[in-house]
Amino acid sequence: MKTKYNFFSFFYDLIDTLYFNRKKYSPRTAVLELISNMSTRVLDICAGTGANSLIIAKNKPDARVIALDLSSNMLKIANKKYRKARVENIETLIADACNTSLPDNSFDVVLIALVLHEIEKDMQKAILTEAKRVLSDNGQIIVVEWEQPKGRFQRVMFSLIKMLEPRGFKNFLHTDLSAYFHTFGLSVLEKHSCDYTQVFVLSKK
């Protein structure tokens, strides 16, 4: 089991190396630029091995970050990263993203990065509904999702992602996500195209 989760950690790190290596065009950079430098409460839903949470915590020292995931094994790897980086403004929480038991209106930013395409529609609905519940009235939900690239080389690189992602991924790529978020009572404030991805900023209607 430990080998399995170490592989996931290696795979996520590999994604950064292969797909998000141009810092200016990386979705990690876009997310950072969208988060205030002030005392911000950030919830990273389905944080996995903690790549996004760590970057936010390191670059936003006044923020308080919670990395939430249902897998204790994933969060053990995340905690090792946090200790190695010596960040103190981050904590992990083992919880169901569909029912976090966190208080209403308790976060300024809720991050959902490369999650929705992995799960069935009923779970997508549950996670977005929960994100909306814990979001403060003036807060924002930041969603990062894959986007089909246009360049020839990038299309070749992206074919590997298509092979590894679950059934239904190709259909998800063709979804009008702005209209999709609207069905959950969320307004799209901003949309940014990054390498292989798109980043949405959402608010409560």
pLDDT digits (tens, 9 = 90+) for 73-117: 889 989 999 999 999 999 999 999 999 999 999 999 999 999 999
CATH 3.40.50.150 fits 2-22+37-204, yes or no: yes
**Structure tokens given for 71:** 């897998």
**Cβ(67)–Cβ(94) below 8 Å:** no
Kindly give the interhelix angle for 72-85 and 51-59, rounded to the nearest 10 degrees.
30
Report the alpha-carbon distance of residue 96 to residue 169 in Å, rounded.
23
Please determine, for residue 8, whether its predicted confidence score (pLDDT) is greater than 90.
no
**Cβ(119)–Cβ(145) below 8 Å:** no
**Cβ(75)–Cβ(69) below 8 Å:** yes
Mean pLDDT of all residues belonging to the chain: 92
Report the alpha-carbon distance of residue 105 to residue 98 in Å, rounded.
16
Please determine, for residue 28, whether its predicted confidence score (pLDDT) is greater than 60.
yes
Burial-class residue 4 by CB neighbours within 10 Å (0-12, 13-18, 19+): exposed
Residue 7's region, left for phi above 0, alpha for psi from -120 to 50, else beta, is alpha
Domain residue spans of the chain: 2-22+37-204
Q: What pLDDT is stored for residue 17 in this prediction? A: 83
Q: Pick the residue with more confidence: 166 or 191?
A: 191
**Cβ(96)–Cβ(88) below 8 Å:** no
Residue 144 β-bridge partners: 113, 199
The answer to pTM > 0.85 is yes
DSSP state, residue 166: P
Can you say how many angstroms the Cα of residue 83 is from the centroid of all Cα atoms in its chain?
21
Can you say how many angstroms the Cα of residue 155 is from the centroid of all Cα atoms in its chain?
22
